[in-house]
Amino acid sequence: MTEKPALTHRLQGFGASIFGEMTALAVATGAINLGQGFPNYDGPPEVLSAAQKQIAQGNNQYPPGIGVPDLRLAVSEHQSRFWGLTYDPDSEILITVGASEAIAGALLGILNAGDEVIVFEPLFDTYAGLIALADGLAIPVTLRSNYGERFQFDPDELRKAVTPRTRAILLNSPHNPTGTVFTRDELQTIADVVIAHDLIVISDEVYEHLTFDHAQHIPIATIGDMRDRTITISSGGKTFNTTGWKIGWACGPRHLVHATQMAKQLFTFAGGTPFQAAIATGLRLPDSYFVTLAQDLQTKRDVLLTALTEADLNPVTPQGTYFITTDIRQRFPGGDGLDFCRQLPDLCGIVAIPASVLYTPENQHEGEHYVRFAFCKQMETLEEAAHRLRDWS
């Protein structure tokens, strides 16, 4: 009998995550891990103590499938308070196991076999796999940086990417890994394409509060009539330094949230009951918390940005997120980012991520000379990393 492959055809070509390889390399060499985007410090004590209290009080069983009512209300309040968007907490907000589950639910809930989803690359590494699981096809529009300027897309390339099979645009702003915060004009261009072709936007906004240098995050749902065409997704992980809690949410018109929920309920149904209550506490923190959060990260960004510049790694200054993307060609002839990252622990005791893995396979050449570093670390960690980079330079 001929042995059939165990792996579904939808996942053929998706290998083991580069993050696992680089993390193992950091452990084996004792290098500072600036590869994975998670903080090595805790979130606000009000949020942590709220979770502890909920656990101690026995709030540890299944929550409602759509999420704890108070968190749905807190998300609704947050969207109105910061972005002027109004959502009914009972029918237009869904709590998920992290933003990734919300994205997966949205894609599986709205895509039919063969539908196309436009993505901006480099892209968060799960996007292409999730689109494939939904039996869709990712159509890349590439963000490019000219001479170290912010990464941006070509509007004509976006317009040409649309076909009769296009169903949705998957947007991420502030953008991982480039740090670009899409401008109002860029969002208007996307909105014009969406409306002209009757598309849906799935908008990943997990870094919504992490912007720098007066860059302004603008939810695409606030542009014109886009609220009724947009599933807005975020989470508490990045905003409250609780990436391991996996509490996310999706906001949108009732029919899009319903589609997302129909798929999402087949994964986990619901989870994280005590953490849902704690994230509700976080979303109601005063404005000063959110301002200080961004200011602290900007200071950390600048420490690493200066060291990468001095090491001739040509960083592109990010407007938001946890990450700095560098162009290694000046320092590393040939510009092979994967080879560079495998050598970097021995060269200077730091681990980073090659950005080429964040492009669709046919376009990996676009990112082969880029490397991503994370600065969401304790200042002591970043100062030691900066010291190692300077010694190497």
Instruction: Please give the pLDDT value at position 209.
Output: 98
pLDDT at 140 over 90: yes
- Cis preceding linkage at 5, omega within 30: no
Give CATH 3.40.640.10 domain extents, the chain: 45-285
pLDDT at 1 over 60: no
Q: What's the mean pLDDT in 67-95?
A: 98
Residue type, 332: F
pLDDT at 54 over 80: yes
Please, are residues 32 and 385 in contact by the beta-carbon 8 Å criterion?
yes
Instruction: Please give the pLDDT value at position 14.
Output: 75
Please report which confidence band the pLDDT of residue 8 belongs to, taking 50, 70 and 90 as the band edges. confident
The whole-model pTM stands at 0.96
Please, are residues 126 and 282 in contact by the beta-carbon 8 Å criterion?
no
- Positive or negative: CA dihedral 204, 205, 210, 212: positive
Instruction: Please give the pLDDT value at position 333.
Output: 86
* DSSP one-letter string for 263-312: HHTTTTSS--HHHHHHHHHHHTS-HHHHHHHHHHHHHHHHHHHHHHHHTT
Q: What's the mean pLDDT in 43-49?
A: 98
Please report which confidence band the pLDDT of residue 3 belongs to, taking 50, 70 and 90 as the band edges. low
Instruction: Please give the pLDDT value at position 334.
Output: 84
pLDDT in tens, 152-208: 999 999 999 999 999 999 999 999 999 999 999 999 999 999 999 999 999 999 999
- Residue 371 tokens, joined: 């490397």
> Which residue in the block uniquely carries the two structure tokens 């087949």?
266
Element (H, E) at 110: helix 98-110
Give CATH 3.90.1150.10 domain extents, the chain: 9-43+288-392
Q: What's the mean pLDDT in 264-270?
A: 92
In this predicted structure, which of 1-5, 6-10, 196-200 has the lowest mean pLDDT?
1-5
Protein fold of 45-285: Aspartate Aminotransferase; domain 2 (3.40.640)
Roughly what angle, to the nearest 10 degrees, separates helices 126-133 and 98-110?
A: 30
CATH number of 9-43+288-392: 3.90.1150.10
